[in-house]
Amino acid sequence: MKLELIIRSNSSDIDFALLKDGKLIEFNNETNNNKFSVGDIFLAKTGKILSGLNASFVNVGYPKDGFLHYHDLGPQVNSLQKFIKKVSTGNYKDYTLKNFQFEKDIDKSGSIDQVLKSKQNVLVQIVKEPISTKGPRISSEISIAGRYLVLVPFSKRVSVSQKIEDPKEKDRLKRLAKSIKPAGFGVILRTVAEGKKVAELDKDLQNSLERWKEMCGKIANSNTPTKVLSELNRASSILRDVLNESFTSIVTNDEALFEEINDYLQEIYPEKQSILKMHTGKSPIFEKYGIERQIKSAFGQTVSMNKGAYLVIEHTEALHVIDVNSGNRSNKANSQEENALEVNLIAATEIARQLRLRDMGGIIVVDFIDLHSNENRQKLYEHLKNEMSFDRTKHKILPPSKFGLIQITRQRVRSEMNIKTKEPNPSVKGEVEAPIVMIDKFDVELNRLLASKNKDKKIELHVHPFVAAYLKKGLISEQIKWFLKHKKWIKVIPRDAYQYLQYRFKFNR
């Protein structure tokens, strides 16, 4: 497996594309004016206490107040509030919690009005960015994420990521964490901590402690609301979460970002500094790595897959619905059941990619092609779970229902990535898919035709004149690429009578 991170920067925002073996699997955007990212910590002020909802609105500086539920306070909230009160005076400088007297944990079934009052200063962390008309979702259970571990102030817990399955490794990591963690802090070992030595864990822990002390220093004499600790920028946070031995290159077109990433790599993974490169070519960075085309073809309502199959992705107010279609794929399977299973397995792989790519959250319902065999249903379920195991976002997958539906819940912490893939229709009013999206459909259809009994015949593609011009433009046109790929000349014939998206392949002796 080969992983590449391509970073495109311009004056207003930064785009991050994560490629796995050349295929786009994650796409993120960070705007310069985004002041409310997941992980940011604010010294805020409580607003109205809602006893009926057992929650409070909190002013964090966003037009809509943040929402803080009782269950998001954290059991040690009384200790946190006592600490904030002391630090806010500017006279209390012991940020290590070594000599701090802890308060009793709050009751799990208590009421928020017994803990918080209106107009009270409170330290909160963004756990879900503002989405649509809603303000940010916040928590007062503070945590500071590092490369190998997460530091949790006012906690005594030491736990290990569930993705580390080896019980001996879990015990080893717990012993190491207990030996280095300071009093008054809890530690959560991340998946990437597997196999790491105590020196590496301790270095990461000390970095997180320094960030905690820096944050505490900003609290003193601060007005509310104030951001007292920012999450790492998107480039650093992606590297922190996914950087491993599989990474072969990190490329950016921005000098300042290059230096920033280089410094961060030197701190967390010096062996990987050599894979960082500066893009200096004449062609745009996303064009060079084929990302622009993948974005156009991956974010539409219809997503083409191998062998003619495709997905239809619909968004409603309550949930997302994905329909799996076999399309016009050539059927080499011995039975309809085998054919359906093959299409479903291809679809499951693409669905896992689409959820990460679009950052889809909430409830997702997938209508797979019906399978009659319980063994095949289980095979599909296990395959989907395996493909989703690479997704860092919390999710849950239910087994197939009697109707062939699989339900997925995926945590939503920021707005869904939604990219416009349509362009103005040059013929009539309205919008149609961009020509580049049509190329993928042509490729799928060509693969099917060239695998059929008629593969030795001449092939013609009849299309709208504008699409025909697009296929023929340039020294290395799409038509030339087809010839180099398939060793067969595909004749492109413009048809004035065709609508913009209409096309037809024909065999000709």
Give kind and range of the element (H or E) at residue 236.
helix 234-242
Q: Which CATH class is domain 41-229?
A: mainly beta
Positions of CATH 3.40.1260.20 in the chain: 422-508
Q: Which CATH class is domain 422-508?
A: alpha beta
Angle (nearest 5°) at CA 277 between 354 and 476: 65
What is the average pLDDT score of the chain? 86
Q: What is the pTM of this model?
A: 0.72
pLDDT digit string, tens, across residues 255-287: 888 888 888 888 878 888 899 999 988 788 988
pLDDT digit string, tens, across residues 179-223: 999 999 999 999 889 999 999 999 999 999 999 999 998 888 788
Which CATH number, 2.40.50, 3.30.420, 3.30.1490, 3.40.50, labels domain 3-34+245-281?
Answer: 3.30.420
Binning pLDDT at 50, 70 and 90, where does residue 426 land? low
Positions of CATH 2.40.50.140 in the chain: 41-229
List, as one string, the DSSP characters of 149-194. Answer: EEEEET---EEE-TT---HHHHHHHHHHHHHHPPTTEEEEE-GGGT
**Alpha-carbon Rg of the chain, whole angstroms?**
27
Position 59 scores a pLDDT of 92
Considering all CA atoms of the chain, what is the largest pairwise distance in Å, rounded to the nearest integer?
A: 90
Report cis status (omega within 30 of 0) of the bond before 424.
no
Position 345 scores a pLDDT of 93
Position 504 scores a pLDDT of 86
Binning pLDDT at 50, 70 and 90, where does residue 399 land? very high
Positions of CATH 3.40.630 in the chain: 299-410
Residue 137 has pLDDT above 70, yes or no: yes
User: Residue holding tokens 């997958």?
Assistant: 397
Positions of CATH 3.30.420 in the chain: 3-34+245-281
pLDDT digit string, tens, across residues 143-154: 998 889 999 999
pLDDT digit string, tens, across residues 71-101: 999 899 999 999 999 888 888 888 888 888 8
Task: Measure the CA–CA gap between 27 and 17, rounded to whole angstroms.
Answer: 5
Residue 435 has pLDDT above 70, yes or no: no
pLDDT digit string, tens, across residues 324-357: 988 655 555 568 888 889 999 999 999 999 998 8
Average of per-residue pLDDT across 382-402: 90
> What is the side-by-side strand order in the sheet with 276-278?
23-31, 13-20, 3-9, 247-252, 276-278
Q: What is the helix, strand, coil percentage profile of the chain, to 5?
A: 35, 25, 40
Average of per-residue pLDDT across 130-140: 84
Task: Measure the CA–CA gap between 147 and 130, rounded to whole angstroms.
Answer: 26
Position 27 scores a pLDDT of 87
Q: Does 3.30.110 match the CATH number of domain 299-410?
A: no
Q: Which residue has the higher pLDDT, 293 or 468?
A: 468
- Across 18-32, 132-146, 230-244, the highest mean pLDDT is recorded for 132-146
User: Residue holding tokens 């009697």?
Assistant: 402
Task: Measure the CA–CA gap between 408 and 355, rounded to whole angstroms.
Answer: 10
Position 333 scores a pLDDT of 56
High-pLDDT (> 90) share of the chain, %: 35
Please report, for residues 85, 87, 380, the alpha-carbon distance to residue 82 in angstroms, rounded to integers and kept in the order given: 5, 9, 52
Average of per-residue pLDDT across 31-46: 82
